[in-house]
Structure 1
Amino acid sequence: MASREYAVDVAAYQPTSMSAYKRAGARQVIVKATEGLGYINPKASAQIESTHANHMYLHAYHFATFGNSVSRAKMEAKFFVSRAEKLNISKKRYLWLDWETGDGNVVVNSTYSNTKAILAFMKICHDAGYKVGLYSGAYVLRQYVDTAKIVKKYGTCLWVASYATMDRIDNPNFNYFPSMNGIAIWQFTQNWCGLSVDGNITLKELITDSADKVQKKAPSSKVSHDSGTEKERKGAEKKVTGTVYVPILYGNPNYKVRLLDSKGHYQKYINTNTSWKIWDEKTIRGMKCYKIGNDQQWIPAKFCSNHG
């Protein structure tokens, strides 16, 4: 599994500020945009603004009321896409379909007809240029949806709700993980960290923006191949710029920082409250980053202090 990042999903029941969720460790937010054919989340714009202000990644979701109706599914999808575009949801992000019992949405039809309608909805969103995914509870997905067809069409794209308890949960217990193929996000609680918000953990890297082009550097003087030892030449190629400290972030000593490689692909995590020697620096994904190991180990400068 390529990623472990906390995400929250918010609707009109949640506040407009995402700050508390960010402090608790959430990195991504999925905002409810629409429901059915006419409902628009009145807090969506403010929630999105706060998501950006807190430097969190943003996705959006739609609550379905189409059941197994293909024609209505297409209409709801067009409504959702129109609203997502007005809210400036990036097409690098996901539009999620929330298909579950509630608000008149009937799930107890045939698996074939349910899946056909779901795929019709997702196709509209996908054809509009977005990444797409499907949300529901584990039981509903197992009983009433052919998830194999969904996954075959759109890859690892399921967002599955399954709770060990209905009480507060701060961290997911993978002994209760709803083992299914194609899970991208697991919603493991409805009361994450006592904040009355759904808590989710990503199991797939959802943020796959291409790396920004590295700014060109002034050409460095070449090391002559006719002088100096091989060890001296390798040492001359390194740019040592001091040390850096990674402080405890958001008041959480368990919070870890994810490294990138030189092309902007996310790699392993490192602990906070640690110090590292810097070998180089450059811009990756539009962020100033320090090289603290090999070419697979670059840390964003925004997570660091005491650079000297």
Structure 2
Amino acid sequence: MPKIAGVDVSAYQPSSLTKYHNSGAKYVIIKATEGTWYTSPVASAQLKSAHQNHMYVHAYHYANFGSSVSRAKAEAKYFVKFAKKIGISKKRWLWCDWEQQGNNVNDGKNASTKAIIAFMSEVKSAGYHAGLYSGASLLRNNINLSAIVKKFGDCVWVASYATMGRIDNPNFGYFPSMDGVAIWQFTDNWRGLNVDGNVMLIDLHESKASVKPSVKAETKKATQTSSEHKISGTAYAPLIHNDPKWKIRLRDGDGHWTSQYIPTNSKWKVFAEKTIKGEKCYKLGTDKQWASAKYLKLL
């Protein structure tokens, strides 16, 4: 699996991207537009600097359309028009940055997803690769991600930070595993440069990138064949509970309790381990299947 470093920039960052390139960034995702009213005044200069530094250039649009299909289409057309104007190659990706701020997320997953798909379809019909950016929590709880991945392939650019503040390199113990992830934004202060740091998990600069297997599937396959993580064990109930039928509740990768449980004395395998909210936890399957080590006994 490739792990290619890159940054994303807006008007808050300088026009010259040389320092990012010198620090190891191979590509940049430039903020181009927002709504149907804003175009970045430095986007063209940032693109020129990126090309001078031999960096691949993609672009993103900060969405304001919420769950409105008509507004989504209008914003996508506005985005595409500007991307063409500044010279974004059609070999590259145009991303829909759909966040809670600026969008109504209260109309339900299906309505929000329908609008996002409308936006991405407009981008795709214009000849570009279409992608979706958002935070891990929003992608899990407010968007029907499987519908988007089914239609557009591995197209997800997900934001999820192990901690706030400077992070130089991604720690894959905190990877937000989900379907269709192509890029992981793992920090908002990469190498102390006050710029978002990203790692590309699928080489989107290859012509066939969009039809590759999902990153989740590749990650799971690699993990399952890794001897250091292939550990069997037996679950047992916390001693504070006397009921032998007590089931152990699981956390998700962000440390939140889920509605999932594992029964006592069940057999399982550990695919990874990390500290969640001060407790050592074992990953038993998906990103929503982490169990506290104090409730588990290794064989």
When normalised by structure 1's length, the TM-score is 0.67
Instruction: Give deviations 1:173-195, integer Å, cap 9, x for gaps.
Output: 00000010110000000000000
What's 2:258 paired with?
A: none
Which runs of 4 or more aligned residues in structure 1 lie more than 4 Å from their structure 2 counterparts after TM superposition? none
What amino acid sits opposite 1:61 in the alignment? Y
User: CA shift at 1:106, angstroms?
Assistant: 1.9
What's 2:152 paired with?
A: 154
What are the within-5 Å matches in structure 2 for residues 1-40 of structure 1? 1=1, 3-40=2-39
What are the within-5 Å matches in structure 2 for residues 182-201 of structure 1? 182-201=180-199
What's 1:117 paired with?
A: 115
What are the within-5 Å matches in structure 2 for residues 151-230 of structure 1? 151-209=149-207
What's 1:65 paired with?
A: 64
What's 2:42 paired with?
A: 43
Instruction: Give deviations 1:176-233, integer Å, cap 9, x for gaps.
Output: 00010110000000000000000000010110159xxxxxxxxxxxxxxxxxxxxxxx
What's 1:77 paired with?
A: 76
User: CA shift at 1:167, angstroms?
Assistant: 1.1
The aligned length equals 208
State the SS of the aligned residue for 2:105: coil
Whole-Å separation in 2 of the counterparts to 1:209 and 1:52: 19
Whole-Å separation in 2 of the counterparts to 1:167 and 1:73: 33
State the SS of the aligned residue for 1:20: helix
State the SS of the aligned residue for 2:26: strand
Check the 8 A contact 1:109/1:144 in 2, yes or no.
Answer: no
Whole-Å separation in 1 of the counterparts to 2:100 and 2:145: 17
Whole-Å separation in 2 of the counterparts to 1:30 and 1:13: 13
Unpaired runs of at least 5, structure 1: 211-308
Whole-Å separation in 2 of the counterparts to 1:209 and 1:87: 22
When normalised by structure 2's length, the TM-score is 0.69
Check the 8 A contact 1:187/1:200 in 2, yes or no.
Answer: yes
Check the 8 A contact 1:97/1:133 in 2, yes or no.
Answer: yes
Whole-Å separation in 1 of the counterparts to 2:195 and 2:104: 25
State the SS of the aligned residue for 1:178: coil
Instruction: Give deviations 1:35-59, integer Å, cap 9, x for gaps.
Output: 0011000110110010000000000
Whole-Å separation in 2 of the counterparts to 1:83 and 1:209: 23
Whole-Å separation in 1 of the counterparts to 2:60 and 2:91: 14
What's 2:261 paired with?
A: none
Whole-Å separation in 1 of the counterparts to 2:29 and 2:199: 12
Whole-Å separation in 2 of the counterparts to 1:172 and 1:200: 8
What's 1:247 paired with?
A: none
Deviates more, 1:201-210 or 1:38-47: 201-210
What's 2:52 paired with?
A: 53
What's 2:268 paired with?
A: none
Whole-Å separation in 2 of the counterparts to 1:112 and 1:106: 13
Percent identity of the aligned residues? 60
Whole-Å separation in 2 of the counterparts to 1:7 and 1:57: 9
User: CA shift at 1:108, angstroms?
Assistant: 2.9
User: CA shift at 1:107, angstroms?
Assistant: 2.2
Whole-Å separation in 1 of the counterparts to 2:206 and 2:158: 21
User: CA shift at 1:110, angstroms?
Assistant: 0.5
User: CA shift at 1:109, angstroms?
Assistant: 2.4
Unpaired runs of at least 5, structure 2: 209-299
Check the 8 A contact 1:7/1:26 in 2, yes or no.
Answer: yes
Check the 8 A contact 1:158/1:185 in 2, yes or no.
Answer: yes
Whole-Å separation in 2 of the counterparts to 1:169 and 1:115: 32
What amino acid sits opposite 2:187 in the alignment? T
What amino acid sits opposite 1:75 in the alignment? A
Whole-Å separation in 2 of the counterparts to 1:153 and 1:180: 16
Whole-Å separation in 2 of the counterparts to 1:7 and 1:101: 24
